[in-house]
Structure 1
């Protein structure tokens, strides 16, 4: 399709999260606080894992990558949302919109794949403990992270390429607070069957492949845990997985509900609320889940604080 066909739309107007003026300021302050906390918490997690030598294990290597993905996903979405709350004309150029769409797809797909890799890591740690160091070597972990981001790259490229072929000639106001797939397709005056097919196929593959990996891992984990005679041993094994199970349930529950159904079934207003969970709330919750409920992280943080206080005491 010729590039000139896109000349009718040079920018999009974002409707935002809500049109109620009395909610603009409270929502702005709320999401600003969430974003600041998310950024600080995930940056803190990455820094803590990097500085604490006893956290240099596969589990925390993947957790550091998940924190990076959460940070980037939130940063791609939230600033645009905050702008929508304080400006009258919420415009975004065509190029910026496609860039935001690409980055959003890349990080959201990568996050789902990273959760599957973390489930596999827990499976090896519990079911093949004696071979854990060999199976999850630095090279293997590095390749798994590379594959995670390759999945995101392929999916984001496919979605964005198909979107670039869409002719936008309807009203350019998109009923959303950022450039997402279904709201943009609502503005098309050309056929969107290919786009919707690509969305469904890639979403089905990414979500089901990851979920099947997670389910297979946890079926084996539960079977192994039930063979443990000690109640304390069972409790400890379950506790190492509880944080991950919580994160998986929240993330995949919302993404599956959003993307594994025809666009006509899920209204755009309903979709905006759902997307808030896995683009803004989940990145914040992950940092809480993996820090407040993780003894190793608490110990590492206490050691760094004590070391800092000891060094300051010596300087004085």
Structure 2
């Protein structure tokens, strides 16, 4: 069955004005998201990776219009949500959900778990009587692996894993179609991470959910994703299928270095040869001209400094924004494939 596009962005941008500071200057902006055009298919998990500060979380919030875009369009199941007014957007929000990185800070400490889960039902008028609300809450709580006994507790009485299960329950209690998972396991112990990831996979199958999964962890993205997008300084520089990712079919140097900088999980897989990306990420306020990765790229030419490469389809379902993609494949590809062997413990 061919999956259709469910989320589509066209030239999506979000610039944050720079205010205050020692040197007050006008017309300075942080280019958090700078012209992203991608698609997320119905029923898939689209993984999004990149260094801290590249704009991943901002992009996720834009897709739900939790923050307003500076420019561009966001199509949600064919509807351009950037053109909806407040009331129209509220009706559509029932079909959206988000799970944040830190469950402790995303839950109201003064509300019991029951009140936390009841709130979305009341906002969207999804249950009439208190009995119906209670039944729905217990049902969704059991779906995420918690029991009825947790309803009267407050967030401080639960563990990190239990809190994240409550956050997941809150995100899916309205029976949404699309959920943004913003590093949902990075604040958890490694054993709890595995439980939460398996829970998310099972919930996706049960409720036919579409995920945007944001993470720094390459192994987590490998496990969860159908396709992976790589972000750098507000841009998506490569999109590839999980099959190409596992085979080491990489065409952008940043993607290659992101993989190569991942520490090996098993002592027998570690090598003395270390390949680490040098240099600092340029300021998102003063974005370099041309390819914004050129200040750190080993294959840089004058063309890279002058011309920004567009995101183009280099092979079926594989997109890259690079003037010299074959250079990466030929010179860094063997190192990437060697590195990927560390996942087969």
TM-score normalized by structure 2?
0.23
> Which gives a bigger RCO, structure 1 or 2 (Cα 8 Å, sep 6+)?
1
Structure (1/2) with the larger strand percentage: 2
TM-score normalized by structure 1?
0.25
Structure (1/2) with the larger helix percentage: 1
